[in-house]
Amino acid sequence: MKIIQALFIIALLLIAPAAYACRFWVAVGTDLDREFIVDQLITAKNSLKNLGEIYPDGWSVGFYDRGDEVVIRGDEAASFNAEYDEAVRYIAVLKPEIVMGHLRRASSGCVEGVPNPHPFRITYNGRKWLFGHNGGMRKQILIDLIGEDFLARHPPAVCNQNPPESWIDSELYFLLIMKSVKEFDDDVEQGIRAAINKLYARIEDEDRYLNFFMSDGETVWIFRKGNTLFYRFDPQSRMTVVSSTVPDAEPNDWQEFPEDTLAVIRPQEFPRFSVMK
């Protein structure tokens, strides 16, 4: 097993950094089973815990409690951090309707001694927004698209000690999307579409690593471009789970998330997919 993991790490190093920058997992449903959450995030073959050695730059797990976001973070690899297990088991007992987990493999911004900043937070229009990213892009492109005026009024909240070098591209990505949502009178889907189209116009197809999840506590929006992403939907419980890597040893229940596609997911509803191109 150690040899296989070592070969996997070597293979990753030969790939563009943005292609393996992070991993995320999101579950949405009104009756998320405690054992299921623990299995997916701790005990499954490819759980976030077991991937922590490969994605070592911190972890986070989060959920919503009556509209308020709660995020627990660590700056060590999840594989070796008992606090990760404690956080997952704590959340699993609460059985929230939206649960998310994220592992960071830093490709941008500050790293040392910094708990995983994903998911990033913004309070806007009375709602608490969370955003996590799996990928990477040139920060200058994002800065140009956001604009100096907006950045002056809404600077990144994380790793801002030596901007723009210390900024994280993922948080800038979040700011670009939120700016676009505001420009479209809070129409989230139209705002996301406009932001993605702006990025497509500036970034060549082979360099587009744009996977993200975003939530306001009631809805989850998930987009895939450039990295692996999979989903499963249980029609009986109407639970939707989306993951960068299939956690289970038997992946038969999982389907590949379509490229260039946005999913809109709410508890007790079928996920709705729309192509962004």
Question: What tens digit of pLDDT does each residue of 44-87 get?
Answer: 999 999 999 999 999 999 999 988 999 999 999 999 999 999 99
User: Which pLDDT does position 155 carry in this prediction?
Assistant: 94
Q: What 3-state DSSP class applies to 251?
A: helix
User: Which pLDDT does position 6 carry in this prediction?
Assistant: 46
User: Which pLDDT does position 19 carry in this prediction?
Assistant: 52
Instruction: Tell me: pLDDT of 14 over 60.
Output: no
Mean per-residue pLDDT over the chain, rounded: 91
In order of 23, 129, 145, 204, the CA distances from 201 in angstroms are: 26, 26, 11, 8
DSSP 79: G
Instruction: Tell me: pLDDT of 4 over 80.
Output: no
User: Domain spanning 22-275 has what CATH number?
Assistant: 3.60.20.10
List, in sequence order, every residue forming a beta bridge with 64; answer none if it has no partner: 69
| pLDDT tens by residue, 236-268 | 999 999 999 999 877 788 999 999 999 999 999
Q: What angle, 0 to 180 degrees and rounded to 10, lies between the N-to-C axes of helices 169-183 and 139-146?
A: 20
| pLDDT tens by residue, 198-236 | 999 999 988 999 999 999 999 999 999 999 999 999 999
Structural domain boundaries in the chain: 22-275
Q: Which residues are CB-contacts of 27 (< 8 A; sequence separation ≥ 6)?
A: 36, 37, 40, 98, 99, 100, 239, 240, 241, 242
